[in-house]
Chain A
Amino acid sequence: MALDKNIIINVAKNIAPNVDVIEHHGDLTLVVGRDVVTDVLAELKENPATDFNQCVDITAIDWARKTDRFEVVYILYSIPNKTHVRVKTAVREDKPHLPTVTDLWEGANWYEREAYDMYGIIFDGHPDLRRFYMPEDFMDADGEPLYPLRKDFPLAGIPGSLPLPQK
């Protein structure tokens, strides 16, 4: 039996009273502030009523024109309750920092590295925050690191930013 959505909402409300709840085709999304997001995630995991013991994915969205440019999305699953939930939080462009959740779910390690590699979101306290897919020295001519899934990155890449072996 899937978990009743009111149980999940109440557990989240105990930590963040002004949580935004979005329901779309039966999928529950909780939008919380970036200062409380790790507390909400920890409560959703550790509260025996919800028991979200699996972190399915962590990714980000670049909204380009919004003041809070990035949105980080956590997708959680509760194996005992057979229930999904999505938690979102907005991050500013000039300070793209969030606390890590690797201490809650070990598996978050690579997801956070991927989000860092693709969007430049910095997860403070991550044990090994290196690039994931792209080479370590992926940067433009001025030495600024490049994040390819940001909206201002050209799809076909920047010529010369990635070296090739000599013929």
Chain B
Amino acid sequence: MGLNEQLQRDGFVTTTVESVITWAQKNSLWPMPMGISCCGIEMMAFGGPRSDSARFGSERFSFSPRQADLMIVAGTVTYKMAWVVKKLWDQMPEPKWCIAMGVCTSTGGMFRSYPVVQGIDQFLPVDAYVSGCPPRPEALMKSLLYIQEKVAASKPQLINLGKDAGDVRRSDLIVTP
């Protein structure tokens, strides 16, 4: 009996580690809600029961940047707030993605005035822009699906502790009681 038939009989699937990781990553994006102004309300609707982002594995809004991999910047970013947004973004572990929700975040929108940053792409790498003032939750959902496609097409970074361990030795990782 060939290997393939044997695996099929025992209920195994053959795949690559990369595709398992991207599959898991894509279906469990944990958003960091940067709800800075009115767009934040629509972002909450996106997480609520009617729109239900849980269907896409994103129901777990992470109020700590360290457990998040998708930042949804929802609202008017002022020059003073830009430093705070950037500080939180820097605390998110790689790999990470960013959605600019609403016209304010994308371009400054109707606030063509001195305190408002005219588009957060001046200091953040943005993956998806959502138009609207505010965008409907469906529009945000569309951008989430777009990010999922992007994640699925990406190549995860694998750390091989066996060969490329660098300074980390295996004995360092073993905890003795």
Determine the chain B residues whose CB is within 8 A of the CB of A155 once the complex forms.
112-114
Of B20-28, B120-128, B163-171, the segment with at least 4 beta carbons within 8 Å of chain A is B120-128
Whole-angstrom distance between the alpha carbons of A154 and B82 in the complex? 21
Closest residue of chain A to B125, judged by CB? A167
Closest residue of chain A to B82, judged by CB? A164
* Partner among A133, A148, A154, A164 whose Cβ is within 8 Å of the Cβ of B123: A164
Given contacts A167-B124, A167-B125, A156 and B82 within 8 Å (CB-CB): no
Scoring A residues 138 to 167 as 1 if CB is less than 8 Å from chain B, else 0, what string do you get? 000000000010000111111000111111
Tell me whether B79 is interfacial, beta carbon within 8 Å. yes
Interface pair A148/B114, CB less than 8 Å apart: yes
Interface pair A133/B83, CB less than 8 Å apart: no
Say which size band chain B's interface belongs to: 10 to 19
Given contacts A165-B86, A167-B125, A156 and B79 within 8 Å (CB-CB): no
Determine the chain B residues whose CB is within 8 A of the CB of A166 once the complex forms.
123
> Which of A134, A148, A163, A165 lies at the interface centre, i.e. has the most chain B CB atoms within 10 A of its CB?
A165
Tell me whether B115 is interfacial, beta carbon within 8 Å. yes
Tell me whether A135 is interfacial, beta carbon within 8 Å. yes
Distance in angstroms from B76 CB to nearest chain A CB is 13
Q: Residues on A close to B: CB < 8 A?
A: 133-135, 148, 153-158, 162-167
